[in-house]
Amino acid sequence: MVFGTLITMVISSVELQRKLKKIVQVKVGTLELGLLPGFFRRVVSDYTAHQVMDEEFLKTSPETSLEEFLNSHEINSKSVFIVYDDKNPVGLISQKEIKKIHKKNHSVIKIKDIMYKKYHTVTSDEQIFTVIQKMNSHPFDVIPVVDDYKKILGIVTGDNIMKLLVGKEEKDTT
């Protein structure tokens, strides 16, 4: 499989490749990947947020207590929940914020008390390059996709973008 060889080469000799300017280091949230520059430019200019967004995502209301939230959702280290009110996103919450709260306080703390209220959104027609830039400028590997009225349509995750980049490169090298 040519793709596996390419990634192995990129990972094992990243510094050499950087010096030779044959790869571009791509950071998407907490993930990083080395890609050929022409390939990267082509993918990020040809695809939009709509093409990689998930319409199914984890969500909750700002009025939900943390205890109720934890009882009704399975949480892992990559979980990010969209806090919404009438289909409009109003915040983001991740496991990091939840871990900061002592268990004794779970019944009295509401999601709105610990959610991030400042975060970026993208529209469905924004190019992947713009999505990556916005995602890298806030502390989440998720960015909500909204329409002109700020109604949430879906989310783009760092994993979605990496699957696109890796999947397209695999097809291009075979």
Q: Does residue 142 register a pLDDT over 80?
A: yes
Domain annotation for the chain: domains and CATH numbers: 2-48+162-173 (no CATH), 49-157 (3.10.580.10)
Cβ pair 35, 169 in contact under 8 A? yes
> What Cα–Cα distance (Å) separates residue 114 from each residue in 23, 30, 107, 151, 152?
40, 22, 13, 22, 21
Average pLDDT over residues 140-162: 88
Residue 73 exposure: Cα atoms within 13 Å on the Cβ side:
24
Q: What is the pLDDT of residues 68-117, one digit of tens each?
A: 988 888 777 666 777 777 778 888 888 878 888 888 989 999 999 988 88
Q: Is 7 left (phi over 0), alpha (psi -120 to 50) or beta?
A: alpha
Q: Of 1, 3, 2, which Cα lies nearest the Cα of 165?
A: 3
How is residue 111 written in tokens? 């999601």
pLDDT attached to residue 6: 42
Q: Sign of the CA dihedral 170, 161, 132, 11?
A: negative
Task: Choose the weakest-confidence range: 10-19, 21-30, 105-114, 141-150.
Answer: 10-19
pLDDT attached to residue 52: 92
Cβ pair 173, 6 in contact under 8 A? yes
